Amino acid sequence: MTRSKERTSRLGLWLTLAMVFAMLMGPGPGLHLVNPDVTDPDAVYLISGIPIVYAWGIFWFAVQVAIVVIAYRTVWHDDEIQTVVTENEG
């Protein structure tokens, strides 16, 4: 494997982990960091006039898009070839 391929492969792994992290933080357990407790009278529901859970979703969407854009530009290759000489997959 060439050095650039190793770099790409490592970056791909990091991006995958970042996507999993975004899922854990967005709709996953990380949500508890911002989710208002309805039984708490002092709970904060808004940030700059926008529902905080909605803003949280938009923020992690932005993170996901950033990950996909980086993957699109660096990791995902257009290695389309004429695959006319083929054998059974191992």
Partner 1 sequence: MEQVVLNDLGGMTYVVVAGYLLALLVIGYIGYQRSRVGEEDYYLAGRGQGWIVSSLTIMATFFSSFALLGAPGMVYRDGVVFALFSLNVPISGALVYVLGSRIHRIGRSRGFVTPADMLCEHYGSPVALRLLVALSGFLYVMPYVVMQIQAGGILASQLFPGENAFVIGAIVLAGITTLYIMIGGMRSVAWTDVLQGGLLVVGMLVAGVATVVMLGGVSGFFAGVAALPPASLSVPGTTGYWSPEMLFTVCFFASAGSMVQPAQWMRYYSAKSTQTLRRSALIFTIVLTICYLFGIMLVGLGGQVLYPLETSGGVVLPNPAVGSQANQFDQILVVMISQNLPAVFGLFGSFLAILIMVAIMAAAMSTADSNLHALSAILTRDIYDRFIDPSASEARRTWVGRGIILLATVLSLIVVIVSRTSATVNLVGMIAQLGLLAIAFSSQLLPMTIDMLFIKRGTRQGAIAGIVTGLGIVFLLSPLWPVALGGGPGSLGRLRTIIDIGAWGLFANIAVFAITSVFTRKAAVVVVLACLALPASHATAQSLPDERIAESAPDSFKVAFETSKGGFDVVVYRSWAPLAADRFYHLVRLEFYDEASIYRVVPGYVAQFGIHNDEVTNQAWRPLVLEDEPVRQSNARGTVAFARGGPKSRTTQVYINLVDNGRLDALEYGGVRGYPPFGKIVRGMDEAVALFNSQYANAPAMRQDSINASGRTYLDRAFPGLDYIVTARLVAF
Which residues are at the interface with partner 1 (CB under 8 A)?
19, 22-24, 26-29, 31-32, 35-38, 43, 45-46, 49-54, 56-58, 60-61, 64-65, 67-69, 71-72, 76-90
Smallest distance from partner 1 to CB 15, Å: 9
The DSSP letter of residue 33 is: G
In angstroms, what is the minimal distance from the CB of 67 to partner 1?
A: 8
Q: Which residue stretches of 1-90 are H helix?
A: 3-25, 52-70
- Sign of the torsion formed by the C-alpha atoms of 33, 39, 45 and 51: positive
Residue 89 contacts residue 26 (beta carbons within 8 Å)? no
CB of 62 to partner 1, least distance (A): 10
